[in-house]
Amino acid sequence: MAREALLELRGVSMAFGGLNVVDRLDLHVDEGEIVSVIGPNGAGKTTLFNLITGVYEPIDGDIVFAGESIAGLEPHKITQKGIARTFQTLRLFLNMTVRENVMAAAYGHTKAGAFRSMLRTPGQRREEREIRALAEERLAFFGERLMGYRWDQPAYSLSYANRRRLEIARATATKPRLLLLDEPAAGMNPRETQEIAELIGKLRTDGGYTILVIEHDMHVVEGISDRVVALDHGVKIAEGTFDAVATDPRVVEAYLGTGGMARK
Amino acid sequence: MSTLSVLFDASHVLASQRWDEFLQQTINGLTLGSVYALIALGYSMVYGVLKLLNFAHGDVYMVGAFIGFGMIQWLGFRGAGDTWAPVVSTWFVLLVVLAVSMAGTAGLGVAIERFAYRPLRDAPRIAPLISALGVSFFIAYSMQLMFGSQQRDYNAFGIDNGKLFLDGVDIGNVRVPLLRIIIIVSAFVLMLLLWLLVTRTRTGKAMRATSFDREAAAMMGIDIDRVIVFTFVLGSALAGPAGVMFALRAPASVTMGFVAGLKGFTAAVIGGIGSIPGAMGGGLILGMAEAYTQGYISSKWSDLFVFVILIGFMLFRPQGLFGKADIRKV
Amino acid sequence: MSDDRLDPYDSGSLSAPLPGAAEAAAAEGATSPAVGRDEWVARHGANLAGRGGIVGTIQARLASVPWWAWLAVLVAIVALIPVGFESGYVRRVAFDTLIYMLLALGLNVVVGWGGLLDLGYIAFYGIGAYAYAMLSSSHFDVHLPSLVSIPLIVALGAVVGLLIGLPSWRLSGDYLAIVTLFFFQLFITITTNGDDVFGIDLTGGSNGISGVAASVDPLSFFGWELPQLTDAGAFNVAYIYVALVVFVIVFVALRFVNLSRTGRAWRSLREDPLAAEMMGMPINWLKLMAFSFGAAVAALTGTIFASLNAGVFPNTFQFPLLITVYAMVILGGAGSMGGVVLGAIIVNVLLEVLREPGDARYVFYVVVLAGLVAVLRFSVRLVVVLGGTILLGFAVHVITSVVSDRAVAGSPAGGGFLTGAVDRWVVLPDSLGAWAPISYVALVAAVLLLTTISGWWRIAALVPTLYLGAFVWENVMLAKPEPTRYILLGAILVTLMVARPAGILGERRVEIV
């Protein structure tokens, strides 16, 4: 019953100048899994996301998605193949409305070109309606938060937590199979954090997405993950269930230094 | 036998003619290239520190030429009927002309930075570029308003009874007039001074740090404003003498800045924009390329040739000859 | 598409919570301080709405007028110009303004939507014009009918745009600026020297392609020709209507593109190129498309221009025209179609008015006055400045006239009812000599200095600066309209970028870090 992993990194390395930021990393995410990536700052977690999404090209190794090698592809092509992400520092289209933010992300799987748009062909108008409906549906996923009058508000008017949710909604509008969430709970209070954790679970069960999460908040990691991968200085130092990884001495050392104590 | 010897002699003459032609064009290229290098340096340094293409630089160069014109008229051609009757020796006059034009263009450059670029330091990239366009236009047409659109001839031949052209050095059969020697030598001296200032002084090091990473440099305690002003002073100061050197050989007009600016750009890009040795090298290469095309092909189409070179570089080596490839970071 | 649940202009809403706020608060749970969040939204809506009171209400009503209504009004006005004005000059200006409006629309796509600096834009305009002159004239004796040549040339413009934009694929916008600048220079070289390309007269050289050497065909539709001049030798107004139709078509087409997924992608690209790419948008291709679109619009405009002008000359397609169109786009507001059209009208009318010293004088004083009112509002300071300047002027005039007759012997250029007042107020020497450049430089320095000081020092410094400005304007600038117009355009560009980059109608962008 060996399923082929949805995403697989084989011996991936990345360096800036002479500095190795990711070193022969092997990682896999199976379809339907929620995998968390943890590690101290500078461990290479966001670089990992950048490698997967094509911002960087690995200097060594391969990245395989759904059986196809995606290393070296352009980022928008990778997104069109089914990988979407959010950003550690939010990167919304602030001056566009909430709905427009999400509609924009539908570009990759729609095809009305500029000519058809100029002429407003029936096909183009139908596609516009579909895109709009898709955006509203994705926003509805978050309950009442991003509904109704909010759709026409500019994104900069949203609260911080709502912006994070919007970014996730936008990512899902690209119709991905794999979602990369970069610190989705950053800057949230405990109640919002709890909500995000539930949301991530809901994204898997109701949305059917496979999810790879970078997260610092261990409550969240514990609550959502099927599997946890720990990185330090670009190298995988532990992998397994949350309990196994959290008590792994190498992980503890990476976070707390030698002579540190267990997390609890 | 005699036919052969005639042919042999003929080919000798032809070969030496070819060699002379080549030498001549090379000297042309060096002269032209020196001017381009000085202009290119201004572009490169400002781009390195501000990531801004200072379109107004060409017009600063033009102002330098005009300042030089005024100075030469005032200090040199004071005799009856505008003849050469300098206050002091010719050499001194030339030196003063160079120095004053340097000071003038440096001041202009600083003013431009202060009023047209500094307020836009954190604006999106396109904003200072458009501002630069506006400044370029403003300066060029202000000069036209004040001084009219006709060309100003330095009357270099009139300087000291044509000494700049009659004296010179002979390399083989080719005579290199004194003027060219002065131009090439002064340009190199200036570039050397610049090189020393940039590599040996603290502000020079600060400049290089800023061009690498402005935010980090600021966090290290470097006064970014001072560094930027310093850069503009250096870059614009070089444009003045460049204008004077050019105008000694061809009439100056208010529109000369535009084309010179283009060539300066191209030179900076070829050498690797942001790189000082690159600007120097790029300028010389461009000057040579233009001289050879003008000499051997046609002067009308040398611009096309230069454009092709530029496109070639952009397609195959956008970082220029001496630049470093850009590392994209998120 | 106004949501009538949201009416921030309802004066009651400043204190009342937004409709839907209560539901949102309930959704967020009992512990969430929905008051804080939604009140910010409500306040923000009101802030964005602009000032309260009458001005605010007017602004609001204007903002809710649909775009096509504005377009219809504009079309109606332009269509009535030939009816209302018999003067060939006015009609020609109307045509030229339409051309500029088209050019501004095209440049807006590149600069405003694509965020690219295209310094060769006018070359595409020139290519369109020259191509028309080659394909529909007796130059090569090819007389393609307009309905064939024009679409062909539009396509040509788009293709050349693609080719020129291609080298900067993936490189920064600066490189594109350099390439386009050089492309422009090349275009100028080819058109000016193109009368001898391997023995072929390609572009007519500096004489261009015109009625002298080769007659350029007028527009023709289905065999029916539109002569450029009427039988009486006057400008054929039909061309205004043709240009108007083309303008409407281009405007509507661009509007539809902007509302579509391509327009959304361009907006996303402007907001955050990296995020846009991560959301599946091919940003390099999108930029290239914007560039190519602009080139196509420019080429189209070139054909219309060439057909009316009955000739093309290298002189037309030069750098000053590029700066003029840029000034129009930036002044009107890059990114806003209505804005750049407005900018085109304002700038072209301004430039026309500046041709005649008498009229130009009015513009100067009106603009300065308007500027002062805008900055100082109706206040004590305004009175002080105006009063002070007037008094200073008379005082200086009287003193100089006593000291030297020649200093006031000159007379104001041009005509108009202000000349009498100007003659007594501004010092007008009969010849300026070296004072011309000195006073000009002093004025520039004074204006720049003004920006560095503030408070009452600034008010005090404003008085002599204004008088100096009037002096320079009357004595130096009015006499030379050509450099003056470009000086003003350059100054407009710099000032806008520094003080109000959004121009008149451009997007006021919020950038919260």
Report the pLDDT value the prediction gives residue C140, as an integer from 0 to 100: 79
C351 shares contact with chain B (CB less than 8 Å): no
Alpha helices in C310-356 (DSSP H): 319-332, 337-354
Name chain C contacts of B113, Cβ cutoff 8 Å.
none
- Does A17 touch chain B if contact means CB atoms closer than 8 Å? yes
Q: Show the domain range for C378.
A: 359-479
Same domain for C253 and C313, yes or no, is yes
| pLDDT tens, residue by residue, C331-358 | 999 999 999 999 999 999 999 988 887 7
Q: B330–A46: do the CB atoms touch at under 8 Å?
A: yes
In a domain, B323, yes or no: no
Q: Is residue B279 part of a domain?
A: no
How many distinct structural domains can be found in chain C? Answer: 3
Q: What is the 8-class DSSP label of residue A237? A: E
Closest CA to A8 of A29, A36, A31: A29
Q: Which residues of B touch C274 (CB under 8 A)?
A: 330
Rounded to the nearest 10 degrees, what angle do helices B302-316 and B276-292 cross at?
140
Question: What does the pLDDT look like over C287-339, one tens digit per residue?
Answer: 999 999 999 999 999 999 998 888 888 989 999 999 999 999 999 999 999 99
Q: What DSSP assignment string belongs to C392-449?
A: HHHHHHHHHHHH-SGGG----SS-STTHHHHHHHS---S--TTHHHHHHHHHHHHHHH
Q: Is C103 a residue whose pLDDT tops 90?
A: yes
- For residue C465, what are the contacts with CB-CB under 8 A and spacing of at least 6? C443, C446, C447, C450
Contacts of C323 in chain B (CB under 8 A): 133-134, 137
Domain boundary among C11, C38, C64: C64
C117 and B130 in contact by Cβ < 8 A? yes
User: Are residues C191 and C60 located together in one domain of the fold?
Assistant: no
pLDDT at B214: 81
- Write out chain C residues lying below 8 Å of B116, CB-based: 494, 497-498
Residue B151 in any domain: the answer is: yes
Tell me: do C384 and C277 sit in the same domain.
no
Is position C345 within any domain? Answer: no
Q: Do B129 and C174 touch (CB under 8 A)?
A: yes
Q: What is the ipTM of this complex?
A: 0.91
CB-based contact C173 B126, cutoff 8 Å: yes
Inform me whether the pLDDT recorded for C268 exceeds 50. yes
Q: What is the mean pLDDT of chain B?
A: 85
**Do C106 and C59 reside in the same domain of the chain?**
no
Chain B positions touching A17 (Cβ under 8 A) are: 327
B246 within a domain of the structure (yes/no): yes
**What is the pLDDT confidence band of residue C423, given thresholds at 50, 70 and 90?**
confident
Which residues in chain B have Cβ-Cβ distances shorter than 8 Å to C501? 123, 127
Res. C513 pLDDT band, cuts 50 70 90: very low
pLDDT given for residue C223 in this prediction: 65
| Nearest-by-Cβ selection for C20 from A85, A108, A149 | A149
Is B328's CB within 8 Å of A17's CB? no
- Domain co-membership, C224 together with C105: yes
pLDDT at residue C206 in the model: 73
A 32-51 near B (Cβ less than 8 A): 46, 50
The predicted structure's pLDDT at residue C5: 42
Residue C326 is assigned to a structural domain of this protein: no
Does any CB of chain B come closer than 8 Å to the CB of residue C487?
A: yes
Q: Do C174 and B125 touch (CB under 8 A)?
A: yes
Q: Residue C341 falls within a domain, yes or no?
A: no
Q: Count CA within 13 A, CB hemisphere, residue C24.
A: 23
Q: Cβ contacts of residue B173 below 8 Å, gap of 6+?
A: B16, B20
What integer best gives the mean pLDDT of chain C? 83
Residue C493 lies in a domain: no
d(CA C418, CA C421): 5
Question: C356: helix, coil or strand?
Answer: coil
CB contact under 8 A, B328 and A56: yes
Distance CA C403, CA C406 (A): 9
pLDDT at C2: 39
Checking if the pLDDT of B284 tops 60, the result is yes
- The answer to whether residue C364 scores a pLDDT higher than 70 is yes
Whether B79 contacts chain C with CB within 8 A: no
Q: How far is C-alpha C179 from the chain's CA centre?
A: 23
- Confidence label for C194 from pLDDT (cuts 50, 70 and 90): confident
pLDDT of residue C44: 55
Share of chain C above pLDDT 90, in %: 40
C-alpha span between C42 and C19 (Å, rounded)? 10
Handedness of CA C390, C394, C395, C400 (dihedral sign): positive
> What is the pTM (predicted TM-score) of this model?
0.88
Confidence class of residue C134 from pLDDT cuts 50, 70 and 90? Answer: confident
Say whether both C120 and C267 belong to one domain. Answer: yes
* Tokens representing residue B191 in the block: 């570039």
Domain boundaries, chain A: 1-82+176-264, 93-170
For C106-124, write each residue's pLDDT tens digit: 999 999 999 899 999 999 9
Q: Which of these ranges, B152-161, B229-238, B275-284, C272-281, has the smallest mean pLDDT? A: B152-161
Q: How far apart are CA C332 and CA C343, in angstroms?
A: 4
C93: confidence class by pLDDT, cuts 50, 70, 90: very high
Q: Which residues of B touch C119 (CB under 8 A)?
A: 133
Percent of chain B clearing pLDDT 90 (strictly above): 35
What residue type is B179 in one-letter code?
L
Q: Is A127 on the interface with C (CB under 8 A)?
A: yes
Q: Higher confidence at residue C474 or residue A4?
A: C474
Q: A50 contacts in B (CB within 8 Å)? A: 330
Same domain, C103 and C57: no
Q: Are strands A34-38 and A227-232 parallel, antiparallel or unpaired?
A: parallel
Q: Which of B138, B149, B258 sits opposite C494 (nearest CB)?
A: B138
Residues C46, C167 share a domain: no
Q: For chain A, which chains pass the contact test of at least 3 CB pairs under 8 Å?
A: B, C
Chain C residue with Cα closest to B141? C483
pLDDT at B324: 65
DSSP-assigned letter for residue B259? H
Is there a single domain that holds both residue C366 and residue C301?
Answer: no
pLDDT at C302: 95
Q: Write out the two tokens for C290.
A: 């914007």
**Which residues of chain B make contact with C332, given a CB cutoff of 8 A?**
none
Closest CA of chain C from B220, distance in Å? 23
Domain A1-82+176-264 has CATH 3.40.50.300: yes
Q: Is C493 on the interface with B (CB under 8 A)?
A: yes
Does A192 contact chain C (CB < 8 Å)? no
The verdict on a CB contact (< 8 Å) between B131 and C179 is no
**Contact check, Cβ <8 Å, A46/B328:** no
What range defines the domain where residue B118 resides?
Answer: 34-256
Residue C213: is its pLDDT beyond 80?
A: no
| Cα torsion A157, A160, A162, A167: sign | positive
Token reading at B70: 């005024």
Give pLDDT < 50 ranges for chain A.
1, 260-264
The rounded distance, in Å, linking the Cα atoms of B80 and A252 is 92
Interface test with A, best of C259, C261, C269, C300 (most A CBs within 10 A): C261
- My answer on whether C59 and C199 are in the same domain is no
Please check whether residue B320 lies inside any domain of the structure: no
Q: Which residues of A touch B327 (CB under 8 A)?
A: 16-17
- Backbone angle region of B84, left / alpha / beta, with phi > 0 → left and psi within -120 to 50 → alpha: beta
End-to-end CA distance of chain B: 77
What integer pLDDT is reported at residue C214 of this predicted model?
Answer: 61
Asked if C228 contacts C310 with a C-beta cutoff of 8 angstroms, the reply is: yes
pLDDT in tens, B200-220: 988 888 888 888 888 888 888
pLDDT digit string, tens, across residues C410-421: 777 777 777 778
Contact C323 B135 (CB under 8 A): no
Nearest CA in chain B to A87: B330
Of residues B324 and C140, more confidence is placed in C140
pLDDT of residue C124: 97
**Confidence label for C512 from pLDDT (cuts 50, 70 and 90):** very low
Whole-number Å distance between alpha carbons of C414 and C93 = 21
Q: Does B141 touch chain C (CB under 8 A)?
A: yes
Residues 6-35 of A with CB under 8 A from C: none
Per the domain annotation, does C310 fall within a domain?
Answer: yes
What pLDDT sits at residue C208?
75
C partners (3+ CB pairs within 8 A) are: A, B
pLDDT at A104: 96
B307 touches chain C (CB under 8 A): yes
One-letter amino acid for residue A103 of the chain: M
Q: How far is A229 from chain B (nearest CA, A)?
A: 23
pLDDT at B32 > cutoff 60: yes
Contacts of A46 in chain B (CB under 8 A): 330
CB-defined contacts A:B, below 8 A? 8
Q: Are C168 and C272 members of one domain?
A: yes
CB contact under 8 A, A152 and C512: no
- Closest partner residue to B141 (CB to CB) among C326, C486, C494 is C486
Q: What is the pLDDT of residues C448-468, one digit of tens each?
A: 999 999 888 888 899 999 999
List chain C residues with CB under 8 Å of B130: 117, 326, 330, 493, 497
Residues C289 and C366 in one domain: no
Q: What does the CA dihedral B251, B252, B258, B263 come to, rounded to 10 degrees? A: 60
- Based on the structure, what is the number of domains in chain B? 1
Inter-chain contact B327–A46, Cβ cutoff 8 Å?
no
How does pLDDT run across C239-258, given as a tens digit for each residue?
Answer: 899 999 999 999 999 999 99
Which segments within chain B are labelled E, that is strand? 168-171, 174-177
Question: Is some CB atom of chain C closer than 8 A to the CB atom of B169?
Answer: no
Residue-wise pLDDT for B64-100, tens only, equals 999 999 888 888 877 777 777 777 888 888 899 999 9
C70 domain residue, yes or no: no
For residue C435, give the nearest of C476, C397, C399 by alpha carbon. C476
Domain assignment present for residue B184? The answer is: yes
Looking at residue C33, what DSSP letter applies? -
Domain presence at residue C218 = yes
- What residues 209-238 of chain A have any CB closer than 8 A to a CB of chain C? none
Question: Residue C31: its pLDDT value, please?
Answer: 43
